[in-house]
Structure 1
Amino acid sequence: MEEINEEQKNIRELQGELREKIEAIDLECEQLREETMMVRQQSVNTQIRLALMFQILKARQNHDFAQASHLTSTL
């Protein structure tokens, strides 16, 4: 009987440790999700700025300086 109680106690301790590890993993996953979203948003912003820069270059090539100026101010 005493052995069973000791085993149950050990099992409860292990379950507690596992619960803590799972919570730590969940927290890390959430942090990684947030970081991924930030990187994704930064990438989108960079793509938008690159597209604007390309449009500015095209406008300058076409001597459309008013459009180039407008796009530059947008940038």
Structure 2
Amino acid sequence: MAPRKIDRVGSKSQTEKKLGVRVEAKRVKSEMGKVREEQECSKDEQRKLITRFDEIAKQCDELKQETEMIEKQSAITRAKLVLMFGILKARESGDLVQAANLTALVKLLPWKKQAPAALESIVPGKTWTRGT
């Protein structure tokens, strides 16, 4: 067999091509590493946000419970004021029986389930619900 002719220009460009591919592969790997790090940071931030949102939701629930308690206390206070006003009006008009009944009802608050019905019988036309 005859020795082959080697095209030095062709083999040099082939080597350069392989070197270019290696350099490009390293660059792509480096970029992939950076992207992976960014994704991990994003996941960490997501976890932190989810935790924070859970805390906020818990605080919101606690505030709702506190608000409901304040509303109940406010309704009871309003009812007491209405009863006290009724006592004053009954005393002014000389109706001491109604004044005594209203005084007894003030002592019942916070109400049992029967109290609103009892109040309705004493002060007709008045609805005894939250917000009145």
TM-score, shorter chain, exceeding 0.5? yes
Deviation per CA, 1:32-75, whole angstroms, max 9, x where unpaired? 11111111111111110000000001111111111111111111
Please name the residue that 1:42 is paired with.
Answer: 73
* Greater RCO, CA 8 A, separation 6+: 1
2:62 aligned with 1:28: no
2:91 aligned with 1:68: no
| Letter in structure 2 aligned against 1:74 | L
- Work out which of the two has the higher radius of gyration on C-alpha atoms and give 1 or 2: 2
TM-score calculated relative to the size of structure 2: 0.55
TM-score calculated relative to the size of structure 1: 0.94
The one of 67, 80, 85 equivalent to 1:54 is: 85
4+ residue stretches of structure 1 with deviation over 2 A?
none
Over the aligned positions, Cα root-mean-square deviation in angstroms equals 0.8
How far off is 1:8 after superposition?
0.8
2:46 aligned with 1:8: no
Q: Please state which structure has a larger fraction of its residues in helix.
A: 1
Distance 1:37 1:74 in 2: 23
Please name the residue that 2:21 is paired with.
Answer: none
**Identical pairs, percent:** 39
Distance 1:40 1:20 in 2: 30
* Alignment length (residue pairs): 75
Distance 2:104 2:55 in 1: 46
